[in-house]
Amino acid sequence: MIRLRCGDDVRTAELRTAPQGVQVVVDGTPQAADVEAVAPGVFVLRAGGRRETFHCVREGSRIHLFWRGTVYALDEVAESERTAQRHAAQGLEAPMPGRVIAVKVEAGQAVSRGEEILVVEAMKMENAIRAPRDGVVKKVSVSVGDMVSPGMVLVELEE
């Protein structure tokens, strides 16, 4: 799984093996298309009866994509960068799309660094969201059963 930024748009993408080649999953949603590598940096996208060729080359943490006559520069969002954004915003964000299955804190509660605050289930896996530092819960923005998407603020902390 990889998080990519193109301008202000950030998406989580994953490639899964499928009978016809590779299936593309974006923000947890499988796309009705298959992708096949036909040469280094050259791919064929099949969707319904449509077939399109595109070029994709990786250069460090940047991916250059040429599709339908347009060049896109996609930058990989590193985990450390996402963590820094969470701390700066004083909030804990959903790392991926999923469903909240446990909320273990409430507003006004003191938390310690590493303490489990809530749990998000994504792709049949439980992901514990933990306090990045000691603090006090300012606001809990989700409840058990809520669907969340990447970047959505789940809990806000005060120092």
Task: Quickly count: other Cβ atoms within 10 Å of residue 19's Cβ.
Answer: 6
- Residues 129-138 have pLDDT tens digits of 888 888 999 9
Is 71 found in the same domain as 12? Answer: yes
Residue where a domain terminates, one of 49, 76, 103 = 76
The enclosing domain of 70 has a CATH number of 3.30.700.40
Whole-model pTM: value is: 0.46
Burial of 88 per CB tally in 10 Å (0-12, 13-18, 19+): exposed
Residue where a domain terminates, one of 76, 106, 122 = 76
The enclosing domain of 111 has a CATH number of 2.40.50.100
**Which residue carries 């593309």 as its tokens?**
24
Is 56 found in the same domain as 107? Answer: no
- Residues 75-100 have pLDDT tens digits of 888 755 444 343 334 678 877 778 89
Is 116 found in the same domain as 63? Answer: no
In order of 21, 24, 30, 88, the CA distances from 18 in angstroms are: 5, 10, 11, 40
- Residues 97-128 have pLDDT tens digits of 788 999 999 999 999 988 889 988 877 778 78
Does residue 81 lie within any of the structural domains?
no
Does residue 85 lie within any of the structural domains?
no
Does residue 84 lie within any of the structural domains?
no
Is 102 found in the same domain as 67? Answer: no
Is 52 found in the same domain as 22? Answer: yes
What is the number of domains present in the chain? 2
Alpha-carbon dihedral sign for residues 74, 75, 79, 85: negative
Average pLDDT of the residues in 43-66: 87
Does residue 115 lie within any of the structural domains?
yes
